[in-house]
Amino acid sequence: MKRLLAALLTLALACCALPCGAGAGAGGDTGARAARQVLVMLRMPPPHFRPDSAYGSGYADDGSRAARRRQAAELAAAHGLRVVDDWPMPAIGIDCFVMEDADDVPLERVLDALAHDPRVAWAQPVNTYHGLDGDPLYAVQPAARAWHLAELHRAGTGRMVMVAVVDSGVDGDHPDLAGQLALRQNFVDGVPDVAEAHGTAVAGIVAAREGNGVGIAGIAPQARLMALRACWETAKQETLCNSFTLGKALHFALLNGARIINLSLGGPADRLLQTLIDAALARGMAVVAAVDPLRPDGGFPASQRGVIAVAQAGDRHALPPGALRAPGADIPTTLPGARWGLVSGSSYAAAHVAGLAALVLELRPGTAPLQLRSMLAPPLHTALAAHDADREQEQTGSIDACATIARAAGACVCRCPQTTAITANASP
């Protein structure tokens, strides 16, 4: 065992540095521009839309679209703005226009004016979001042990369940991810789709290949991944996203058959993203999000009603109401360039739960988001079993993966012989 730990520690030291992608500089510029931009929503007419395969989240161009573009141009001119981008979102009945200030008018004043314009459904800032990482740690504590992964995979592997990883770029050529991506799409304008650390690490935890002789096994190794790049990595190795890039990715997931949407990120509440998440939940899609431990409510989108909020197990911050805990410290996972390393943070705890949700949906395909949340929740007595307050706080909400999959499968999955023996000994 000591030899194994030493080998893994050496691997971590060699591999754990996170590279910045080729688009890091452009990504930083994207963030700076977003601070001077607003999103303006114009209502679409009710007629039917037709998704266009060449434009994943688009619809057939028609006169009404041209009319909305003219209207957007008029609105921009009237408020000292210019239109820089737009994206139709028929799933929620709006056309989203990005407008940028042209006259250094305070954006608060512009937003107030737009809010009173009857042509506008709503207007909002372009909010910024970030990946919820922690500091890399080097003690090896594989999640496979905590969750009895080998036993879980005898019951299910997430076969053909579509998981949308809305994140930074995923390395689809990684040995543990080759063949796991059903599709990939880049929603960060002006920056080529590149392999980045955060998205690659999250994707590996969800669905790394099993039994290929290298690396790790994902929680749901036969799930299918949508790699939806809505975030980018900066020169400081931060993972950033914004309202518009995330909105485009969420809308794409809505129209392209995702069963689970993983959001390993956090930031301020956002009306556009709230509307899209509500639409996903209404369509029976599960949404999993990382808890921001520095925010009392867990931050957005973890705080949104219906979202499965996940914090890192062992973190001593108070858990927001309804949130769950999953492995999120010292997690071996995939990194760009055929590498592996250790990562920590609630981003990676959320990825564990997205994978576990895929196992449940393979076993029970018709499970609704609310039912799924109930199946993931630990029994109340498990949360209260600890003897001291600190330990109890750390354990509250911790997922029992074996119990979750046993509920989904309708049969014992882990530790069955021991359970049988205890039951027999307890019989009179």
Residues marked as catalytic: 167, 198, 347
DSSP string, 94-158: EEEEEEEESS---HHHHHHHHHT-TT-SEEEE--EEEE-------S---HHHHHTHHHHHHH---
Count other C-beta atoms under 10 Å from residue 5's C-beta.
12
Helix (H) or strand (E) holding 181: strand 181-186
Give the pair of three-digit tokens for residue 376: 């993931």
Write phi, then psi, for 380 (nearest 5 degrees). Answer: -60, -40
The torsion angle over the Cα atoms of residues 223, 228, 231 and 237, rounded to 10 degrees, is 50
Separation of alpha carbons 224 and 253, rounded Å: 13
Tokens 């250094």 identify what position?
104
Spatial strand order of the sheet with 181-186 comes to 181-186, 224-229, 162-167, 260-263, 286-290, 308-312, 324-326
CA angle 29, 68, 87 (to 5 degrees): 40
Q: What share of the chain is helix, strand, coil (3-state, %, to 5)?
A: 35, 20, 40
